[in-house]
Homo-oligomer: A and B are copies of this chain.
Amino acid sequence: MGDRTHAPWPPRDAQSVREEAEAHLRSFLAGQAQRPRGRDLAVPPALLRVLTDYLFPGGKRLRPLLCVTGWRAAGGRGHPHALTASAAALEMFHAFALLHDDVMDDSSLRRGRPSAHRVLAALHHGRPDADRLGVSGAILLGDLALAWSDCLLRTAGLTPAQLDAAGAVVDAMRVATVGGQYADLVAAGTGTTDEDLAMAIARNKTAKYTVEGPLHLGAALAGADTTLMQQLSVFALPLGEAFQLRNDLHGVFGEPGRPDKSVPDDLRDGKCTLLTGLALRRAAPDERDRLLHLLGDHDLDEAGAAEARRLLESTGARHLVEQRITVLRERARSAADHTAFHPATTAELRGWADHLAATPTHPRHCEADDQEPTP
């Protein structure tokens, strides 16, 4: 059952997994930049540059690492090129998700730097349609990243059986991401207190492509059967939900010990999360009206954001979300412990449980790290 007192994170070979996935991405992009073109248009260099910035912020490369964990969980040995290329496809998919997400949320920042549509708009500074051109460019770039994610997987050198299994994983992941994102947008601004909906959004929009999908992909490559896939889901889904709740808290409250004075996009957009749902349900009527007014106020200022934070805190919602994260993490740990995984896998999964539930994945306003799509 593994070592329950010392759960290692990052996995011992994390650095080499990262480096190999990054090297593969760089070589893929270089190949695209040098496609023979004849009289054809090259891939627009501006788009390639912005995509490179999205792909190489440094970062933890959670998804490639989880893919390798899934591979090992299913008995995969060594680190074949097909695994690296599939892990790289996940990072490319992540870039797609971030690019379109930022457009839909009209987020001006991504990892503390201007988001893609802002960068692309700035390239056309002075044109009356610069902003629209930026948005359109970011949509196209996301399309390219989605197509290239598929291309990376298809050219990974998988056997037909691997490609079938990996394809099924990716199909499910893509549908969930789109469905979750749409539900997120439709719920925004409604002030819903439906907990099940909030958790379904967290699960579909983030948990599936961040935790379950990568584990499944690696496991699929190693020939996992349905039972193992389901066992990995029992671990991955609560953990992915905890990860999203952690990011929701972080998006609103910032770093622990470093109170955030900015105006979070999530508040401004009136995103319906477990946090806001619990607060609205527990607030006294006048507080509730006030919070409803603040959430989704596009002109929310710092004072308004501070007031919303106070209400999210005073209603006990923040505390309850922390508790829920603990419950979900325990559920994931328990799945790691009580499933007949190899002891090394159990230890690795426990490491993931502690890491993903505890750490906000990115400082919100500086160069950073990995990140879920709607911070």
Contact = CB atoms under 8 A, between A and B. Distances in A.
Interface string A127-141: 111001101110110
Contacts of A10: none
Interface in A166-193: 167, 171, 174-176, 178-183, 185-186, 188-189
Copies of this chain held together in the complex: 2
Given A147-B146, A163-B154, A136 B178 contact: no
A143 B144 contact: no
* Chain A binding surface, main DSSP class: helix
B41 A176 contact: yes
A204 interface: yes
Given A40-B204, A154-B154, A160-B160, A144 B186 contact: no
B142 A182 contact: no
Given A100-B143, A139-B104, A160-B160, A182 B44 contact: yes
A27 interface: no
Q: Which of A40, A127, A189, A203 has the most CB of B within 10 A?
A: A40
Interface of A: 32, 35, 39-44, 47, 96, 100, 103-104, 106, 124, 127-129, 132-133, 135-137, 139-140, 142-144, 146-147, 150-151, 154-155, 160, 163, 167, 171, 174-176, 178-183, 185-186, 188-189, 200-201, 203-204
